[in-house]
Amino acid sequence: MSQSSQISTAGRESSRPAGGAPASRRRPLLTAYPSLLALPALLLLIAAMGYPLLTIVLRSFSDPAWGLQNYIWFFSTPVNVTVLWRTFSIAGWVTIVCVISAYPYAYLMTAVGPRLRLVLILCVLVPFWVSGVVRTLAWVILLQDSGIINSVIGLLGLDTVKLIRTQTGVVIGMAQVLLPFMILPLYSVMRGIDLRLVQAARSLGARPSRAFLQVYLPLSLPGVFAGAIIVFILSLGFYITPALLGGPRSTMLSTLVQSQVLSLLNWGRGGAMGVVLLVATFLLLALAAPLMRQRHKQASRS
């Protein structure tokens, strides 16, 4: 009996590593610290975005000399303030149009069968395979005074509408480009909603409209907020679509930044415009975050 116990004890001692610690306590570094897996992506993000952003911020204060002269010039020029306000206004209208257009489409994707759902998803993904410049040039053909849209309006006996070189045309073109970014978050949230909750509300006597507004809509609000934030932020930096579809009265801040940096080679003023747009976006998101967080909690509770 003692001989067998000595053999088992020796076997356990021989299975231990040379350092004396049990093998179960010595784990790989990535297993002990899984956050290290994000280190390459973090370094790439810092190199691709952090360094250029820091350079632009420093140039906005140091070009041509250290000081606040670039920011004073921006806020003392009425055109710059007007264009800044117009940029946020256009981004807001684009977001509203995308929400109104994407919500029924995303709801339809959750209500149809698997085959038709695959077709609808394919229709959402196809625009990603086409260049944004090509899509914008297509809208130039459609929205021009002698284009297809005005031709159809003329056949109906109505007066033609000025769409090209207007803010309306810019909103239409930008909404078409950004619509997939609203549909996909909506669909991901709506897919997880249990439709039996709506059926239960209707079985308790609620009208279809009331069951939708009080049950389904609150549960889908996280997807609405997520898509709206993505669309709004992407709208603020659009350049090609406003340049091709818009006119002088629909100029966005990205166009002014391009003219200051590439045409006038004034990196300080261009950097100041970019920093003002970035700070204004962060402030707006900071004001909207508590409301979105409250709506998300209410949807989770319901």
More reliable by pLDDT, 28 or 199 = 199
Answer for the pair 268, 65: CB distance below 8 angstroms, yes or no: no
pLDDT over 90, % of the chain = 31
- Closest residue by Cα to residue 130 from 97, 167, 85, 177: 177
- Closest residue by Cα to residue 172 from 245, 233, 234: 245
Q: Is the pLDDT of residue 47 over 90?
A: no
What does the block give as tokens for 73? 């010039």
Answer for the pair 254, 242: CB distance below 8 angstroms, yes or no: yes
Considering the chain, what is the average pLDDT of its residues?
Answer: 84
CA pair distance 232, 96, nearest whole angstrom? 9
- Closest residue by Cα to residue 232 from 291, 273, 171: 171
Q: Is the pLDDT of residue 120 over 70?
A: yes
Residue 70 to residues 15, 51, 82, 108, 280, Cα–Cα distance (Å): 70, 21, 17, 50, 16
pLDDT over 70, % of the chain = 86
HSE-up of residue 18 (Cα within 13 Å, Cβ side): 0
Is residue 27 very low, low, confident or very high in pLDDT (cuts 50, 70, 90)? Answer: low
Is residue 284 very low, low, confident or very high in pLDDT (cuts 50, 70, 90)? Answer: confident
CA pair distance 146, 41, nearest whole angstrom? 49
CA pair distance 197, 216, nearest whole angstrom? 8
Query: To the nearest 10°, the Cα dihedral for 71, 76, 77, 81?
Result: 80
Answer for the pair 50, 240: CB distance below 8 angstroms, yes or no: no
- Chain-centre distance for alpha carbon 247: 25
Is residue 292 very low, low, confident or very high in pLDDT (cuts 50, 70, 90)? Answer: low
Answer for the pair 194, 156: CB distance below 8 angstroms, yes or no: no
